Amino acid sequence: MALKLWEKSVEINKDIERFTVGRDREMDLYLAKYDVLGSMAHITMLESIGLLTNDELQRLLAEMKLIYAEAEQGRFTIEDGVEDVHSQVELMLTRRLGDVGKKIHSGRSRNDQVLLDLKLFTRAQIKDIAEAVQQLFGVLIQQSEAYKDVLMPGYTHLQVAMPSSFGLWFGAYAESLVDDMMFLQAAYRLCNRNPLGSAAGYGSSFPLNRTMTTELLGFDSMNYNVVYAQMGRGKMERNVAFALASIAGTLSKLAFDACLFNSQNFGFVKLPDDCTTGSSIMPHKKNPDVFELTRAKCNKLQALPQQIMMIANNLPSGYFRDLQIIKEVFLPAFDELKDCLQMVTYIMHEIKVNKHILDDHRYDPIFSVEEVNRLAREGMPFRDAYKKVGLEIEAGQFTPVKEVHHTHEGSIGNLCNDRITALMHEVTEGFHFERMEQAEKALLGR
């Protein structure tokens, strides 16, 4: 049975239908359980303003909980001839309950319905991403502490520069994730506002109680202006994509470092054997394929905000079908980033560190600054000390003291990992995911 919420009496061209529907039915499977959840809040509100009886509401809610469970278990499908998830849910309810199933759309449009679905989906995905970031952060801090006394060369311009440490290296990426989480929290706050009740972007003549649906769904607030609620389509996805891209940028840089440091010319780290592959011709090879793919996937994710921006660019206010295409690049991005986070967390936990890098005399010059600073502390003018050490290096007479005594905040001897961890905890607590979780459990009766 074909069902389109807008269909009247004109039969449409099948090629046109294929082109306009596109991958929407496939993408809508991401949104299925959120469509049901939003509808449950909506009909609860409809009953409160007299558009449904309490008996109708209870029958609808009971069936919707069953459909939600199907979606949660991956058993929800959109049948051939059914245009989208909204149509499929309404069709299922109508089959099971008769005409009462047709009443759930009162007071809304597919425009605010899909806006709501996208926001409910996105905030849940942000929670998953935040949890995955916290797991990686924990491993990086753990490794930073474990290897805080193991020195390694630091580089500028890919030239050996000054002493660094594995404590600094692991910890640097941990703190980068804190900034990424701040960005993600801002994206979550922008996402966590209720568009339901804006209908097609111009409101409804029904006396909708938008505050009620906002509270039922655990939103922080609503998108108050109904025109702006519709204008948020594409904007929300773009802003969230920037936050995902920020995390992806951290992972990509870490992957590049690890690939470089794993190579024979560096030999600073050894990646887990199960994360490398061999060559079809060179028996000695162990290629860092997992990190190379992570780098590529994360670089692709960093292009996501621009993709969304170009799709939605220069559209005036109001709804346009262009926005449908954003789903195709936006919805799958969360799983891809979560996959990368899982891989990086595993590798960072299993990575082996070379504790004897600086036994190699090629790295002796990295201690030149330490020697210059020692002479300056003893009273020699800095420029004279700089020249003296420089001439010793040129003459091959420089003998380094391979010790560092950095004590200021954030340096080799004072990593401030406790402060970085406290900052991550503060940011994490600031999401207040519990509001969303409690509201959804109450709505589902769990």
Q: Give the pLDDT score at 11.
A: 65
- Show the CA angle centred on residue 79, arms to residues 75 and 81, nearest 5°: 170
Do 163 and 149 touch, CB atoms closer than 8 A?
Answer: no
Q: Give the pLDDT score at 22.
A: 72
| Catalytic residue, candidates 157, 284, 356, 408 | 157
Give the pLDDT band of residue 6 (cuts 50, 70, 90).
very low
pLDDT(397) > 60:
yes
For residues 93 and 101, what is the distance between their CA atoms, to the nearest angstrom?
A: 5
For residues 110 and 439, what is the distance between their CA atoms, to the nearest angstrom?
A: 23
- What average pLDDT does this structure show over 105-128? 96
Domain limits, CATH 1.10.275.10, in the chain: 14-106
Q: What is the dihedral of CA 88, 94, 99, 102, to 10 degrees?
A: -20
Pairing status of strand 221-222 against strand 269-270? unpaired
Q: Give the pLDDT score at 441.
A: 96
Give the type of residue at 84.
Answer: D
DSSP string, 401-422: -------STTBTTB--HHHHHH
Identify the CATH homologous superfamily for domain 14-106. Answer: Fumarase/aspartase (N-terminal domain) (1.10.275.10)
For residues 169 and 148, what is the distance between their CA atoms, to the nearest angstrom?
A: 9
Domain limits, CATH 1.20.200.10, in the chain: 112-152+164-195+231-358
Output phi, psi for 281, to 5 deg: -125, -25
Q: Give the pLDDT score at 1.
A: 41
| Catalytic residue, candidates 263, 279, 317, 425 | 279
- What average pLDDT does this structure show over 334-360? 96
Is residue 86 flagged as an active site residue? Answer: no
pLDDT(14) > 80:
no
HSE at residue 142, side-chain half, CA atoms within 13 A, is: 11
Do 199 and 280 touch, CB atoms closer than 8 A?
Answer: no
Class of domain 112-152+164-195+231-358 (CATH, top level): mainly alpha
* CA distances (Å), origin 85, targets 3, 98, 229: 11, 19, 21
For residues 24 and 379, the model is more confident at: 379
Cβ partners under 8 Å of residue 443, min gap 6: 37, 40, 41, 44, 216, 217
**Range 329-334 contact pairs with CB under 8 angstroms and sequence separation of 24 or more:** 329/304, 330/237, 330/240, 330/241, 330/304, 331/27, 331/30, 331/31, 331/121, 332/30, 333/241, 333/244, 333/301, 333/304, 334/125, 334/128, 334/129, 334/244
Do 211 and 111 touch, CB atoms closer than 8 A?
Answer: no
Average pLDDT, the chain: 92
Lowest mean pLDDT among 276-290, 298-312, 359-373, 429-443: 276-290
- Token code pair at residue 91: 């069709």
- What average pLDDT does this structure show over 234-242? 97
For residues 10 and 316, the model is more confident at: 316
For residues 329 and 333, what is the distance between their CA atoms, to the nearest angstrom?
A: 7
Identify the CA nearest to 144 among candidates 427, 426, 422, 414: 414
Do 371 and 281 touch, CB atoms closer than 8 A?
Answer: no
Give the pLDDT band of residue 111 (cuts 50, 70, 90).
very high
Is residue 405 flagged as an active site residue? Answer: no
pLDDT(125) > 50:
yes
| Residue 154: burial class (beta carbons within 10 Å; 0-12, 13-18, 19+) | middle
pLDDT(436) > 90:
yes
Would you report the helix, strand and coil content of the chain in percent, each value rounded to 5?
Answer: 65, 5, 30
pLDDT(186) > 90:
yes
Give the pLDDT band of residue 4 (cuts 50, 70, 90).
low
- Give percent of the chain with pLDDT exceeding 70: 95
For residues 29 and 22, what is the distance between their CA atoms, to the nearest angstrom?
A: 14
Query: How does pLDDT run across 274-312, given as a tens digit for each residue?
Result: 877 665 566 555 788 899 999 999 999 999 999 999 999
- Provide the 10 A C-beta neighbour count for residue 406: 13
Q: Give the pLDDT score at 10.
A: 58
Cβ partners under 8 Å of residue 93, min gap 6: 60, 63, 64, 67, 100, 101, 104
